[in-house]
């Protein structure tokens, strides 16, 4: 039972470390593009 708990803790630590590295080094910036849309005004 102790081995399973120890393995679970090690996997949780490695997962957290991997997530942290991905958050800092991964490309999380959104794609940017110019958006134009005509606007119709009702001037009555």
Residue 44 pLDDT = 66
3-state per-residue secondary structure call for 2-44 = HHHHHHHHHHHHHHHHHHHHHHHHCCCCCCCCCCCCCCCCCCC
Per residue in 1-44, pLDDT (tens digit) is 899 999 999 999 999 999 999 888 887 778 899 999 999 888 76
Residue 19 pLDDT = 94
Residue 42 pLDDT = 83
User: Is this prediction's pTM over 0.75?
Assistant: no
Residue 3 pLDDT = 95
Q: How far apart are CA 37 and CA 15, in angstroms?
A: 44
Q: How far apart are CA 32 and CA 39, in angstroms?
A: 22
Residues whose CB is less than 8 angstroms from the CB of residue 44 and which lie 6 or more positions away in sequence, other chains included: none
């Amino acid at each position: 039972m102790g081995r399973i708990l120890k393995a679970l803790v090690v996997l949780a630590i490695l997962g957290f470390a991997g997530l942290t590295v991905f958050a800092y080094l991964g490309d999380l910036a959104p794609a940017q593009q110019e958006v134009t849309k005509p606007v119709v005004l009702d001037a009555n």
